[in-house]
Amino acid sequence: MKNQTYRMTMLFDFYGELLTERQKEFFDLYYNEDLSLAEIAENAGISRQCLFQDMDDETWDRFFAVNVNGAKNTIQAVLPHMLSEKAGCIVNLSSIWGLRGASCEVAYAATKAALVGLTRSLALELAPSHIRVNAVAPGCIETDMVRMLGPETRDLLIEETPLGRLGTPEDIAHAVAFLASDKASFLTGQILTADGGFTV
């Protein structure tokens, strides 16, 4: 409970008035009503799957506001300190769908592809200041959202993953930690795919 309160406080402190009333409602459902992300998404009618021709501007803009502008705003918030120190490391979270594309998830895939471009371009721009910029591209991860797809889809994803299992949030955390560590001090502009061989 302490960690949840801390994370929630950080989110509110960072985003402040940028959170809409609807977003605050979702936070309340997750942290206070103990609903899973899948339950919240189902109740709210949130889905990233639709045909491109059926996607409205509001949905398209929301994907870019969260996935691309969110990364931009976060990086710009910490960059002055990194530039003054002439040191730093940025790790973005992309997705395998940003690398290979995804039918019926065009907006999501487009935003994750944009993060790949952002990562590689920033890596070149910030290298003279000794700031490294990389990204992790997760594959199919064992989350509430995947479980919401149903057992048949989950089993199919496992079958299509050469390592024979879905990834875990810990797998992605380890990848991020590696890129942020001194062991990756000569890596910049790289997209680390953590997908159990899914895209091979």
Q: Which residues are catalytic?
A: 108
Beta strand spans in 46-130 (E): 88-93
* Nearest Cα to Cα of residue 116 among 88, 95, 102, 131: 95
CA atoms within 13 A on the CB side of 34: 1
138-175 burial code (b ≥16 CB/10 A, e <16) = bbbbbbeebebeeeeebeebeeebeeeebbeeebbeeb
Longest dimension (CA), the chain: 52
* Nearest Cα to Cα of residue 195 among 177, 178, 173, 172: 172
At residue 192, the 3 state secondary structure works out as strand
At residue 134, the 3 state secondary structure works out as strand
76: left (phi over 0), alpha (psi -120 to 50) or beta: alpha
Contact 180, 91 (CB under 8 A): yes
Compute the Cα dihedral for 164, 167, 168, 172 and give only its sign.
positive
